[in-house]
């Protein structure tokens, strides 16, 4: 292989687009050629520099777009839109005339505290969760102020990647979005927007967040009410620490989970006491799962499941990891997995789910491996029991109060499907409990939604 | 951003609507869909333009124009197409047009200072050098570098966005990375890569 060829291969390596043969050829060449090794290092350095360019935030995008749409080319098809805009502008004008200078958000959503508790969700947990996000945002804001331009850059980069954290966003996309967005995201939205604008009132308000009560108080105060600031301990974060964390995260979002994983690992080694240590572990788990390294992802997930609330998407991912590992074990593979205690994935999963799943209303679990607790009608129960008689590894246990625990032996399901004696029952059970066997389709690494 | 989207008042779209669903809604004149697309991709478009426009003071204007065209051209979005490359293709075309006019504008603004062209926030020295190094690259190199390295598009998607074949994108990207490496080293000769791994 010639040195000229490495230019192309080094580029493809950054995109994870090397064929195995090319990867080997490149590695061999790099081992022998100091000049190309240097070129590879320089390329990484240059790309890191490129990543340092701050993200841009468009100003007045929405207003600009609508005034452009409404202004020049008014056609019949656009009339309803134009009429809507006209009404919008008119009411805004009236508001200004009547109220004097309007608050930054003249149509603030109802504060959390005034929303009716219309759904049996435990809102406190979400509130605490968001309070946690907001606390991190506060840390970012403070850091940004200390770092000047660089800080603003990081702040912007983090928001543009994740708003107030990717978990918040995933929660919004989870099967509880209505209640969740009504109660949490809508009230928080103006704060986030104002933070994006570097609004001093919002910055001050976010600084007051420290607890559930503090969070509500902050939202209320931002809605124009007075409230006494309450002191809050914000973790100190060093410049390098924040930078390391965000760069590792950027790599993950750039679709390079392998590199992100090692960066987060470096981060934890370098900053063991960091307030982001748990987050780093979470991102390592996420990156390992994304890379298909389930043996590594699972213990990490287990490690963080105590410290960090895992949303439904993440639980699903965790279960995929466990399921994939279990399948390999069932197939006789030996896995080098460092798990606490015995390698009983079901037991471990049960523990984690017991801690995490009470947050979820019934029906939000769309893909479950191994152990499912659910209500069963007589016909489905009978069908499952018939399967169980032939495949004793499939267990159905009465948990009382109309609930049953079904343990599905993942590795036997393909066989069951082909077994004429139980195929009908399987189909019947699946009709009632479509999620029961669904997750058995293990998605290959990289195909999970980001 | 999605959180902002949820605060825009009554017209909202379900969070599970894909970009492709939304652009189909646009064809029926749905402003909620337009809001959602702007919330999801406004920053990405502005960031792309930030890297490709010669004159960054046009970022806001071209970002707006991009979404105006998205709205107006929604009916040309065919089933099976992916939204992101389509969006980036619109933004890149506008950026190229603007860059072509740039020479004219530069001369015009020298004699007719009609608008503020100063950037909102001054760049740090490092950011300034990165921008300089990037501006050393030809426009088509800059485009693939930003699309693939920063925006994370696949070769196929970048091919859709730039209108060049995927194979060309891949080889152009390799040369762009190498050119940027050289340009960066010229400005930052002291920065070794020893700290990396």
A152 versus A190: which is more confidently predicted?
A: A190
Q: How close B64 gets to chain A, by Cα (Å)?
A: 5
Chain B residues in contact with A65 by the CB 8 A cut-off are 34, 38, 64, 67-68, 71
Kindly state the tokens that stand for A415: 């066989």
* Predicted complex ipTM: 0.79
Touching check for B2 and chain A: CB below 8 Å?
Answer: yes
Residue closest to A316 by CA, chosen among A174, A204, A185, A178: A174
| DSSP string covering A215-243 | HHHHHHHHTT--------------HHHHH
Give B169 or A96, the one with higher predicted confidence.
Answer: B169
User: Residue B152 and residue A253: Cβ atoms within 8 Å?
Assistant: yes
Tell me the residues of chain B between 145 and 184 that have a Cβ less than 8 Å away from chain A.
145, 148-150, 152, 154-155, 170-171, 173-175, 177-178, 180-181, 184
> pLDDT band at B190, cuts 50/70/90?
low
Of the candidates B38, B155, B191, which has its C-beta nearest A65's C-beta?
B38
| Chain B residue at shortest CA distance from A165 | B3
State pTM to two decimals.
0.41
Mean pLDDT, range B184-195, rounded to an integer? 68
CB atoms within 10 A of CB B118: 7
Q: Which residues of B touch A80 (CB under 8 A)?
A: 29
H or E stretch covering A373: strand A371-375
How far away is chain A from the Cα of B192, in angstroms, using its nearest Cα? 7
Q: Is the pLDDT of residue B102 over 60?
A: no
Q: Which residue has the higher pLDDT, B74 or A146?
A: B74
The whole-angstrom separation of Cα B22 and Cα B168 is 31
Count Cβ atoms below 10 Å from residue A336 Cβ, excluding itself.
Answer: 6
B29 with A152: Cβ contact below 8 A: no
Give the closest residue to A441 by CA, choosing from A258, A290, A316, A311.
A316
Q: Is A16 or A226 the better-scoring residue by pLDDT?
A: A16
Give A 320-339 residues with CB within 8 A of chain B: none
Work out the percent of chain B whose per-residue pLDDT is above 90.
28
Give the pLDDT confidence of A20-50 residue by residue, as tens digits.
888 889 989 998 899 999 999 899 889 988 8
Torsion region of A100: left, alpha or beta (phi above 0 gives left; psi -120 to 50 gives alpha)? left
- The H or E element containing residue B47 is helix B31-52
Phi, psi of A397 (to 5 degrees): -120, 135
- Tell me the average pLDDT of chain A: 58
**Dihedrals phi, psi of A138, to nearest 5 degrees:** -60, -45
Do A58 and B192 lie within an 8 Å CB cutoff?
no
What string of DSSP letters covers A116-152?
---S---HHHHHHHHHHHHHHHHHHHHHHHHHTHHHH
pLDDT at position A275 over 80: no
pLDDT band at B14 (very low <50, low <70, confident <90, very high): confident
pLDDT cut 90: percent of chain A above it? 5
Condensed to tens digits (0 to 9), the pLDDT of residues A193-202 reads 555 555 555 5
CA distances, A421 to each of A2, A150, A426 (Å): 62, 67, 10
Percent helix, strand and coil across chain B, each rounded to 5? Answer: 70, 0, 30
Residues 8-37 of chain B whose Cβ lies under 8 A from any Cβ of chain A: 8-9, 14-16, 29, 31, 34-35
pLDDT confidence tier of residue B48, bands split at 50, 70 and 90: very high
Distance CA A179, CA B123 (A): 42
Check B126 against A193: CB less than 8 A apart.
Answer: no
Q: What is the mean pLDDT of residues A118-135?
A: 35
CB nearest to B4's CB, from A55, A177, A192: A192
Q: How many CB atoms lie within 10 A of CB A274?
A: 20
Q: Which two tokens stand for residue A374?
A: 């659910």
Q: At what angle do helices A123-147 and A212-222 cross, to 10 degrees?
A: 70
pLDDT of residue B38: 92
CA-based end-to-end distance of chain B: 34
Interface with chain A: mutation pick from B40, B119, B193, highest number of A CBs within 10 Å: B193
Question: Which pair of structure tokens corresponds to residue A412?
Answer: 């036997």
158-177 in chain A: CB under 8 A from chain B? 159-160, 163-164, 168-169, 172-173, 177
Q: In B, which residues are within 8 Å of A4 by CB distance?
A: none
What is the layout of strands, in order, in the sheet containing A403-407?
A371-375, A403-407, A395-400
pLDDT at residue B17 greater than cutoff 80: yes
| Cβ–Cβ below 8 Å for B121 and A43 | no
Q: Could you tell me if B59 lies within 8 Å of chain A, comparing CB atoms?
A: yes
Average of pLDDT values for A132-136?
Answer: 45
**What local confidence, expressed as pLDDT, does residue A255 receive?**
78
Nearest to A368 by CA among A388, A349, A393: A349
| Interface membership of B94 toward A (CB under 8 Å) | no
Q: Is B60 close to A64, i.e. CB distance below 8 A? A: yes
The interface residues of chain A toward chain B in range 13-52, judged by CB-CB distance below 8 A, are: 14-15, 17, 38-39, 41-52
Out of B15, B131, B185, the one facing A173 most closely (by C-beta) is: B15
Which of B2, B4, B7 is most worth mutating to test chain A (most A CB atoms within 10 A of its CB)? B7
Element (H, E) at A2: none
pLDDT digits (tens, 9 = 90+) for A98-123: 222 222 222 222 222 222 222 222 22
Contact at CB, B196 and A48, closer than 8 angstroms: yes
């Amino acid at each position: 292989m010639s040195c000229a060829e490495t230019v192309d291969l080094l580029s493809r390596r950054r995109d994870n687009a090397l064929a195995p043969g090319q990867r080997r050829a490149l590695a061999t060449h790099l081992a022998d050629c100091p000049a190309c090794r240097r070129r590879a290092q320089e390329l990484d350095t240059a790309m890191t520099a490129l990543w340092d360019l701050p993200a841009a935030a468009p100003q007045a995008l929405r207003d600009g777009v609508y005034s452009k749409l409404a202004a020049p080319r008014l056609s019949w098809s656009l009339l309803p839109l134009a009429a809507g805009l006209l009404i919008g502008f008119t009411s805004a004008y009236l508001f200004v005339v009547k109220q004097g200078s309007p608050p930054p958000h003249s149509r603030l959503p109802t504060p959390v505290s005034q929303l009716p508790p219309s759904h049996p969700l435990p809102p406190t947990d979400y509130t605490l969760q968001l309070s946690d996000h907001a606390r991190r945002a506060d840390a970012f804001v403070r850091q940004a102020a200390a770092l000047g331009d660089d800080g603003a850059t990081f702040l912007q980069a983090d928001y543009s990647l994740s708003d107030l954290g990717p978990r918040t966003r995933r929660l919004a996309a989870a099967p509880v979005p209505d209640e969740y967005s009504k109660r949490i995201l809508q009230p928080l939205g103006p704060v986030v927007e104002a933070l994006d604008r570097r609004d001093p009132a919002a910055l001050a308000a976010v600084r007051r967040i420290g607890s559930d009560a503090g969070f509500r108080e902050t939202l209320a105060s931002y809605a124009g009410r007075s409230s006494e600031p309450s002191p809050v301990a914000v973790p100190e974060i060093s410049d390098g620490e924040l930078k390391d964390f965000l760069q590792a995260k950027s790599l993950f979002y750039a679709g390079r989970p392998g590199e992100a994983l090692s960066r987060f690992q470096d981060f934890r080694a370098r900053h063991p006491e960091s307030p982001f240590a748990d987050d780093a572990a979470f991102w390592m788990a996420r990156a390992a799962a994304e890379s298909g390294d389930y043996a590594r992802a699972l213990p990490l997930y287990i490690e963080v499941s105590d410290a960090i609330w895992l949303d439904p998407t993440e639980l699903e991912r965790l279960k995929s990891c466990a399921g994939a590992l279990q399948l390999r074990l069932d197939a006789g593979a030996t896995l080098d997995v460092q798990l606490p205690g015995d390698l009983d994935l079901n037991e471990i999963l049960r523990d984690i789910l017991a801690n995490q799943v009470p947050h979820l209303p019934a029906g939000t679990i769309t893909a479950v491996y191994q152990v499912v607790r659910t209500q069963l009608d007589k016909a489905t129960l009978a069908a499952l029991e018939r399967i169980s008689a032939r495949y004793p590894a499939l267990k159905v246990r009465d948990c009382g109060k109309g609930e049953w625990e079904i343990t599905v032996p993942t590795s036997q399901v393909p066989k069951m499907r082909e077994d004429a004696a139980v195929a009908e029952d399987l189909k019947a059970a699946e009709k009632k409990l479509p999620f029961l066997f669904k997750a058995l389709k293990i998605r290959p690494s990289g195909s999970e939604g980001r | 951003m999605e959180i902002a989207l949820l605060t825009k008042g009554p017209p909202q779209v379900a969070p599970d609507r894909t970009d492709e669903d939304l652009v189909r809604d646009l064809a029926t004149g749905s402003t909620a869909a337009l809001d959602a697309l702007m919330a999801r991709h406004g920053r990405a478009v502005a960031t792309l333009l930030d890297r490709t426009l010669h004159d960054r003071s046009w970022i806001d204007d071209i970002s707006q124009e991009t979404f105006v065209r998205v709205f107006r051209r929604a009916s040309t979005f065919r089933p099976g197409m992916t939204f992101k490359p389509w969006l980036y293709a619109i933004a890149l075309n506008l950026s190229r047009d603007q860059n072509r006019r740039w020479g004219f504008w530069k001369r015009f603004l020298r004699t007719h200072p009609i608008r503020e062209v100063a950037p909102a926030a001054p760049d740090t020295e490092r950011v300034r050098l990165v921008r300089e190094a990037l501006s050393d690259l030809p426009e088509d190199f800059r485009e693939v570098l930003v699309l693939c390295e920063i925006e994370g598009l696949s070769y196929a998607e970048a091919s859709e966005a730039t209108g060049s074949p995927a194979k060309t994108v891949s080889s152009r990207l390799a040369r762009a990375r190498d050119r940027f490496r050289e340009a960066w080293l010229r400005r930052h000769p002291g920065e070794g890569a020893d700290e990396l791994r």
